[in-house]
């Protein structure tokens, strides 16, 4: 087998794979012998089918299979040995040659390849890049404190008067009918009612108080809400339930937040790390700032990418090849759609090539431990979202093992871990112009960029 290369220009080439009988004959014979062992042909025991019959039945498909394997091995072996940076995948050259597996001994296949242009740009201290640090406000700290105390809070029963947000339980009796509907243990959350007139009837109520209200008006005829309140079947007709109901309060339940105490401090940040409310606030502020660093880093990377793409200037790409490749992999897209999307595709490719070059030039290697540590960071962030800031190492480790079993998740973590190393490198090389912005300002910038 031989592979030859013909350069069309600096970014287009043709690879031709030539396969002779000596390359595939032994492989095909071996494959046919294996098939003979398994073949089930009437009149013959397995393994005793004449070889000529096996050849007639499976010879062409076995030859085609081996030739296809040799093509793949030849193409990608050549690409790897010659360290070619290709875009997309090799595409068969469209010609009139026909392959005849019945008569041909020598096979020749040609493939177009698109070569990536050489882009070598970098960043240094002369480059001033804005780095936006998101301000942690007192309001954000207070909101996070409330989230902690809410997790350790509980519902308590009170006699009244009720306040907004209370859960009021009671017994319902339909008025105006002799056999009116009756329900016990009905829960009313007045804050979810649609009309103020009905909602106000539940302001400041106490246990054993009786309230006359109209469910149909309270929920503005919403059938789902009415069924839920009246404990009806999910498909029940609610059109007949337009009368007033008497509601007798049997219980008022109110959520009370947990106390700011040492137990909460230890749950949040570990035993003895925080001992006072003031220290708790400081620690929350620090953790919020840390949690927002990835957003600042990502914005920094976007800005650096724009700077480096400008430095790269206009790079030559195998346009016709790439458009053909896009068309082959996007069956539902028209030529017009591909033409419209192509500029953004090239922009993404330029940044991808710049990143690859920076990673290689700066020897940013990713070790197995780097992947595990990044996965640990991802896992702990996910646990933190559920209030488990100090999940036991054993639980986290088991979660990481399960997470890394999924190839898609593993690939995503590897990509993000490399990107994190790249961000750290770029931050160390550029001159950062730090700017403090509010969360609203930061999100406004991100929204403007996405348009």
pLDDT tens string 179-198:
899 999 999 988 889 999 99
Buried b (16+ CB within 10 A) or exposed e, 359-369: beeeebeeeee
At 51 the three-state DSSP class reads: helix
Say yes or no to pLDDT of 130 above 80.
yes
| CATH of 2-115 among 3.40.50.2000, 3.40.50.620, 3.30.70.2740, 3.30.70.1050 | 3.30.70.1050
> What is the DSSP code (8-state) at residue 82?
T
Burial (CB count within 10 angstroms: exposed 0-12, middle 13-18, buried 19+), residue 199: middle
Query: Does the pLDDT of residue 389 top 70, yes or no?
Result: no
* Residue 22 confidence (pLDDT): 93
Question: What pLDDT digit, counting tens, does each position of 204-226 carry?
Answer: 999 999 999 999 999 999 999 99
The better pLDDT of the pair 280, 46 is held by: 280
Strands 431-437 and 128-134: parallel
How far apart CA 116 and CA 119 sit, in angstroms, is 9
Model confidence at 451, in pLDDT bands (50, 70, 90)?
A: low
Would you state the torsion angle of the CA atoms of residues 114, 338, 324, 327, taken in this order, to the nearest 10 degrees? Answer: 130
φ/ψ of residue 251, rounded to 5: -160, 140
Query: Which pLDDT band holds residue 450 (cuts at 50, 70, 90)?
Result: low
Q: How many CA atoms lie within 13 A of 75 on its CB side?
A: 21
Q: What was the pLDDT predicted at 14?
A: 96
- φ, ψ (nearest 5 deg) of residue 171: -110, 135
Specify the higher pLDDT residue, 99 or 177.
177
Task: Note the pLDDT of residue 94.
Answer: 79
pLDDT in tens, 149-164: 988 899 999 998 999 8
Alpha carbon distances (Å) from 2 to 5, 16, 450: 10, 8, 49
Contact 249, 208 (CB under 8 A): yes
> Which of 111, 91, 79 shows the shortest CA–CA distance to 329?
91
Decide: residue 84, CB within 10 A, 0-12 exposed, 13-18 middle, 19+ buried. middle
Q: Does domain 154-256 bear CATH number 1.10.1660? A: no
The rounded distance, in Å, linking the Cα atoms of 201 and 193 is 11
**What gap in Å lies between CA 325 and CA 87, rounded to an integer?**
9
Q: DSSP assignment of 274-334, as one string?
A: --SHHHHHHHHHHHHHHHHHHHHHHHHHHHHHHHHHHHH------HHHHHHHHHHT-TT--
DSSP class per residue in 89-106:
EEEE---S----TTT-SS
Distance CA(31)–CA(26), nearest Å, equals 9
Lowest mean pLDDT, pick from 56-70, 86-100, 177-191: 86-100
Looking at the chain, which residues constitute the CATH 3.10.50 domain(s)?
A: 154-256
pLDDT tens, position by position, 40-51: 888 888 788 888
Q: Can you tell me the distance from the alpha carbon of 242 to that of 288, in angstroms, rounded to the nearest whole number?
A: 50
- pLDDT at residue 133 tops 80: yes
Whether 229 and 194 have beta carbons less than 8 Å apart is answered as no
**Nearest one of 268, 267, 357 to 312, comparing CA atoms:** 357
pTM for this one? 0.74
Over residues 336-347, the mean pLDDT reads 93
Residue 392 has what pLDDT? 78
* Residue ranges, CATH 3.30.70.1050, the chain: 2-115
Confidence of residue 54 (pLDDT cuts 50, 70, 90): confident
Cα distance between residue 390 and residue 383, in whole Å: 8
Q: Tell me whether residue 315 is exposed, middle or buried, using C-beta atoms within 10 angstroms of its C-beta: 0 to 12, 13 to 18, 19 or more.
A: middle
Which pLDDT tens digit goes with each residue over 415-447? 999 999 999 999 999 999 999 999 999 999 888
Q: Considering Cα of 51, then 57, then 63, then 65, what sign does the dihedral take?
A: negative
Indicate the Cα dihedral angle 400, 401, 405, 409, nearest 10°: 10
Predicted confidence at residue 316, as pLDDT, reads 94
Distance of CA 251 to the CA centre of its chain: 45
Using the predicted structure, report yes or no on whether residue 307 has a pLDDT greater than 70. yes
Residue 216 to residue 238: CA distance in whole angstroms? 9
Q: Which residues pair with 252 in a beta bridge?
A: 158, 168
- pLDDT averaged over every residue in the chain: 91
Half-sphere exposure of 33 (CA within 13 A, CB side): 6
**Count H helices, E strands: the chain?**
14, 11
Query: Among residues 418, 379, 413, which one has the least CA distance to residue 399?
Result: 379
Give the CB-side neighbour count of residue 153, counting CA atoms within 13 A: 14
């Amino acid at each position: 087998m031989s592979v030859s290369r013909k350069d069309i220009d600096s970014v287009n080439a043709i690879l031709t794979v030539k396969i002779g009988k000596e390359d595939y004959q032994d492989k095909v014979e071996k494959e046919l012998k294996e098939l003979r062992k398994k073949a089930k042909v009437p009149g013959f025991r397995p393994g005793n089918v004449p070889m000529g019959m096996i050849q007639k039945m499976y010879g062409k498909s076995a030859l085609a299979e081996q030739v296809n394997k040799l093509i793949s091995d030849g193409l990608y072996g050549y690409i790897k040995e010659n360290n070619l940076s290709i875009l997309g995948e090799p595409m068969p050259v469209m010609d009139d040659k026909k392959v005849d597996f019945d008569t041909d001994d020598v096979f020749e296949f040609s493939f177009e390849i698109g070569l990536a242009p050489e882009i070598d740009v970098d960043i240094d201290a002369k480059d001033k890049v804005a780095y936006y640090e998101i301000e942690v406000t007192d309001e954000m700290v207070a909101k996070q404190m409330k989230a902690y105390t809410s997790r350790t809070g509980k519902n308590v029963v009170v006699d009244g008067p009720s306040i907004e947000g209370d859960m009021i339980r009671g017994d319902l009796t339909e008025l105006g009918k002799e056999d009116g509907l009756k329900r016990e243990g009905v829960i009313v959350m007045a804050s979810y009612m649609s009309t103020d007139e009905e909602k106000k009837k539940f302001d400041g109520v106490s246990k054993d108080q009786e309230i006359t209200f109209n469910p149909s008006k309270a929920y503005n005829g919403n059938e789902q809400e009415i069924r839920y309140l009246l404990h009806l079947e999910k498909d029940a007709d609610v059109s007949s339930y337009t009368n007033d109901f008497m509601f007798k309060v049997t219980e008022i339940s109110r959520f009370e937040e947990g106390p700011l105490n040492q137990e909460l401090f230890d749950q949040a940040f570990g035993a003895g790390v925080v001992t006072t409310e003031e220290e708790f606030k400081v620690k929350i502020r620090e953790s919020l700032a840390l949690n927002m660093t990835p957003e600042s880093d990502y914005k920094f990377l976007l800005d650096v990418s724009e700077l480096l793409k400008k430095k790269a200037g206009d790079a030559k790409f195998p346009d016709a090849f790439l458009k053909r490749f896009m068309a082959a992999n996007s069956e539902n897209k028209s030529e017009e759609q591909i033409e419209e999307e192509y500029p953004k595709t090239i922009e993404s490719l330029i940044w991808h090539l710049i990143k690859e070059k920076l990673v290689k030039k700066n020897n940013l290697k990713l070790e197995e431990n780097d992947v595990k540590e990044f996965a640990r960071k991802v896992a702990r962030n996910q646990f933190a979202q559920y209030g488990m800031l100090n999940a036991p190492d054993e639980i986290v480790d088991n979660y990481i093992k399960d997470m890394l079993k999924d190839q898609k998740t593993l690939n995503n973590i590897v990509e993000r871990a490399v990107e994190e190393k790249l961000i750290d490198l770029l931050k160390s090389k550029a001159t950062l112009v730090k700017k403090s912005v509010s969360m609203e300002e930061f999100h406004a910038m991100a929204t403007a960029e996405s348009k």
